[in-house]
Amino acid sequence: MNFSNFIQSKQPGLLRTIIIDDEIPVRETLKTLLDKACPQVSVIGEADGVATGIRIIREKTPDLVLLDIRMSDGTGFDLLNSFDNILFKVIFVTAYEEYAVRAFAFSAIDYILKPVNPEKLAEAVQRAEKVTRSDFSIQLAALRENVENPGKTNKKIIFKNLESIFLFDVDDLVHLTSEGSYTTIETMDSQRILVSRNLKEYDNLLSGSGFLRVHRSHLINLRHVRRFDKQDGGYVVMSNGCQVPVSGSGRSRLLELFEEMTGL
């Protein structure tokens, strides 16, 4: 390490960062992008696999690890499983297929796709700075289950607000309501959780998991529909007794789905 890099690594407030990826070009690209886009980061080491990654983490005790998912001697999860307590923050770097990308989104955990976009990298680093160790443990547990069980329909999903982090089975969600740029989530056990993500994001995330946008302000879990009343424009009655209004386009799609399910 030259003198200027040594001084930088000692500056207070810098995120001491290790890059773990089995592809040399990826590691070089990440170092270059971090240097240009993330002034709060100081790269203190790199590794090319699980075994070397474990060694350098124990030696350097980083604040942040940029971690590949699949490497020649194992996975990023294998690496994390070797630590009883994960005292560093993690951003996953992946070339995974669509199902795994959705698993990251369900788990609300940071990832960046290869080839790496510098803006996405900078945003991920900024978010990682704010993640607590307890939050990350919950998110990681959800991610492991979703990635390691790709065929499982009842995925784990994370919701976060300023006060808490929540872990649910997707099947336990009943109804999501738009509150401007916020969303209220209603669950089977009558919880109502307000989070600072808009309904469109959840519509995109849950569209393949049995949810339907029946109104511009309402997203419902079809497993929890108990009745569709057609009068007064139409509304659905959910398993928790909630009555959800249905728009014209939502009504058409809902009736189509009922016909498909009944075979009429």
Q: Averaged over 101-123, what is the pLDDT?
A: 88
Q: Is residue 25 part of a domain?
A: yes
Q: Residue 253: what pLDDT?
A: 85
Distance CA 185, CA 199 (A): 10
Task: Return the higher-pLDDT residue of 250 and 88.
Answer: 88
Q: Residue 74: what pLDDT?
A: 92
**Do 124 and 249 fall within a single domain?**
no
82: pLDDT strictly greater than 60:
yes
Q: Is residue 161 part of a domain?
A: no
Q: Residue 262: what pLDDT?
A: 63
This prediction's pTM = 0.76
Domain count, the chain: 2
DSSP conformation class of 252: H
Helix ranges (DSSP H) in the chain: 3-10, 24-37, 50-60, 76-81, 98-107, 118-130, 133-148, 199-206, 248-262
Q: Which residue range(s) make up the domain with 218?
A: 170-262
Q: Which of 118, 148, 178 is the last residue of a domain?
A: 148
Torsion of CA 188, 189, 190, 191, to 10 degrees: -100
Q: Is residue 158 part of a domain?
A: no
As a whole-number percent, the residues of the chain with pLDDT over 70 amount to 91
**Do 204 and 140 fall within a single domain?**
no
Q: Averaged over 145-160, what is the pLDDT?
A: 83
25: pLDDT strictly greater than 90:
yes
Give me Rg for the CA atoms of the chain: 22
Q: CATH number for the domain including 230?
A: 2.40.50.1020
Q: Residue 146: what pLDDT?
A: 84
98: pLDDT strictly greater than 70:
no
**Do 226 and 125 fall within a single domain?**
no
Q: Is residue 78 part of a domain?
A: yes
**Do 127 and 21 fall within a single domain?**
yes
**Do 114 and 178 fall within a single domain?**
no
Max mean pLDDT range (46-55, 103-112, 149-158)? 46-55
The band of 250, judged by pLDDT with boundaries at 50, 70 and 90, is confident
5: pLDDT strictly greater than 60:
no
Q: Is residue 164 part of a domain?
A: no
Q: Residue 49: what pLDDT?
A: 96
The band of 99, judged by pLDDT with boundaries at 50, 70 and 90, is low
pLDDT of 158-210, one tens digit each? 999 888 999 999 999 999 999 999 999 999 998 999 999 999 999 999 988 89
